[in-house]
């Protein structure tokens, strides 16, 4: 284990989430950057795209320069520990890896590659996570797995692999989940501690085995999860306590998957799965939607003292279990954000037994917006900016799990609780 120190370069530190008391600070000169602090530790999130064009090398150089400039504005030294790179052309993967190795040395930050074109037409977009301040320690387990210890909690981050080749969605999913399980085991944790997953599935709505690839992924996920007792409530496990998740389309025919876990012995910490009163829980969908229902919670929230962090699953224009606003991307975006707003509301937290939460769309630290049709980009972006405000955002072209759905949004939020509130 290596601890951070002021000014020390610690690229090996894992992507972290601040578990200490924190507030949102703003940089009027630095759009696309948010961080939480002050406190023992700090998490920084950036969303970056090149302003210019040209080949991938030129655009990546511009992003790396902008990344350094923005991080210099953070008042505490931080280390980049996780990159998620959205690529327009999967053929650029080799060059992208070469340039990152040259920039960072033999151990670049843990990096996920997503084969989704940025909506802007850029060759790539990058989401950057960094940590710093206080006592943070980390250990690396190969190129794609990192463990971060901070404030009495431990998280393991698994980036997965860039998708390769073809195969059935069922087989690809079982293979990806087994790789994930082995990577987590090597890092000293178990799959039962997973609180967030991502699946990037090529041909997500294409027909396969008499159904479609998304439903086959759900079948495999159900089979894999069958004997796993997820425990997000620190021992108070319920059958519905699945991780939060995103399953979204990607270029090609492969599958990439990632996750992170959470463990702590702190008695005052609560990990709470959230469901949305506007939506049927995904794991309770009728078989008409999927022979095996999608096994995820609408969000997973971490409650610690006066702070709450919520990891919101991929959310679309679905009310109850029905898709809404067919053919209208703008109205679908509005409905999707309405769903997210209700999910993180104080009223919804109270219905889950946690009072004193003041969550709102303005408390989101970062979002990802997946848009099926490139021509809908500017209208969807305008809606997101009007509702979320100046939050770091990635906009990528991707198919959603149902053919009629045109937009999906996920995000992470951090907000306060009033003193004396109950529910921990």
Among 126-135, 136-145, 228-237, which stretch is predicted with the lowest mean pLDDT?
Answer: 228-237
User: ∠ at Cα 271 (407, 317), nearest 5°?
Assistant: 15
- The per-residue pLDDT for 206 is 97
What sign has the CA pseudo-torsion 78, 139, 115, 374?
Answer: negative
Question: Would you state the structure tokens that stand for residue 171, as one six-digit string?
Answer: 């087989």
- For residue range 7-19, list pLDDT tens digits in order: 333 332 222 222 2
Task: Return the pLDDT at 15.
Answer: 29
Structure tokens at 255: 């599958």
DSSP summary character for residue 15:
P
The 3-state DSSP class for residue 247 equals strand
pTM of the model: 0.90
Confidence of residue 134 (pLDDT cuts 50, 70, 90): low
The 10s digit of each residue's pLDDT in 309-336 is: 999 999 999 999 999 999 999 999 999 9
How would you classify the pairing of strands 244-250 and 194-202?
parallel
pLDDT tens figures, 30-39: 334 454 433 4
Q: For the chain, what is the mean pLDDT?
A: 87
CATH number of the domain at 1-141, please? 3.30.1330.40
In whole angstroms, how far apart are CA 25 and each of 6, 125, 367? 20, 24, 17
């Amino acid at each position: 284990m290596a601890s951070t120190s002021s000014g020390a370069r610690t690229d090996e530190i894992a992507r972290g989430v601040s578990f200490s008391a924190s507030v949102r600070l703003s940089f009027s000169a630095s759009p696309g950057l948010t961080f939480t602090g002050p406190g023992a530790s700090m998490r920084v999130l950036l969303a970056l795209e090149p302003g210019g064009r040209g080949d991938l090398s030129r655009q990546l150089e511009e992003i790396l320069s902008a990344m350094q400039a923005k991080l210099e504005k953070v008042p505490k030294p931080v280390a980049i520990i996780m990159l998620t790179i959205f690529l327009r052309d999967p053929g650029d993967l080799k060059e992208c890896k070469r340039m990152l190795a040259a920039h960072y040395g033999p151990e670049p930050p843990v990096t996920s590659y997503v084969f989704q074109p940025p909506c802007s037409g850029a060759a790539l977009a990058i989401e950057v996570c960094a940590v710093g301040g206080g006592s943070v320690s980390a250990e690396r387990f190969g190129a794609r797995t990192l463990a971060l210890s901070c404030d009495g909690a431990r998280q393991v981050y698994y980036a997965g692999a860039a998708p390769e080749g073809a195969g059935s969605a069922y087989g690809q999913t079982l293979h990806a989940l087994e790789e994930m399980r082995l990577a987590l085991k090597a890092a000293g944790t178990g799959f039962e501690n997973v609180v967030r997953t991502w699946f990037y599935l090529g041909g997500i709505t294409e027909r396969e085995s008499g159904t479609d690839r998304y439903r086959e992924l759900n079948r495999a996920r159900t089979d894999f999860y069958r004997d796993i007792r997820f425990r997000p409530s620190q021992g108070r496990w319920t059958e519905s306590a699945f991780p939060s998740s995103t399953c979204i389309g990607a270029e090609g025919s492969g599958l990439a998957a990632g996750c992170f876990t959470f463990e702590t012995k702190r008695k005052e910490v609560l990990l709470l799965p959230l469901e949305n009163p506007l939506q049927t829980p995904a794991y309770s969908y009728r078989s008409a939607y999927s022979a095996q229902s999608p096994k995820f919670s609408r969000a997973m929230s971490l409650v610690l003292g006066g702070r709450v962090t919520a990891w919101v699953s991929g959310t679309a224009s679905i009310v109850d279990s029905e898709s809404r606003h067919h053919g209208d991307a703008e109205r679908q975006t509005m409905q999707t954000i309405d769903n997210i707003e209700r999910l993180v509301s104080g009223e919804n937290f109270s219905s889950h037994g946690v009072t004193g939460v003041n969550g709102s769309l303005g408390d989101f630290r970062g979002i990802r917006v997946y848009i099926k049709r490139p021509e809908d980009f500017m209208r969807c972006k305008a809606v997101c900016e009007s509702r979320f405000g100046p939050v770091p955002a990635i906009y990528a072209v991707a198919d959603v799990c149902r053919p009629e759905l045109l937009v999906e949004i996920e995000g992470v939020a951090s907000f306060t609780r009033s003193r004396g509130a109950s529910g921990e």
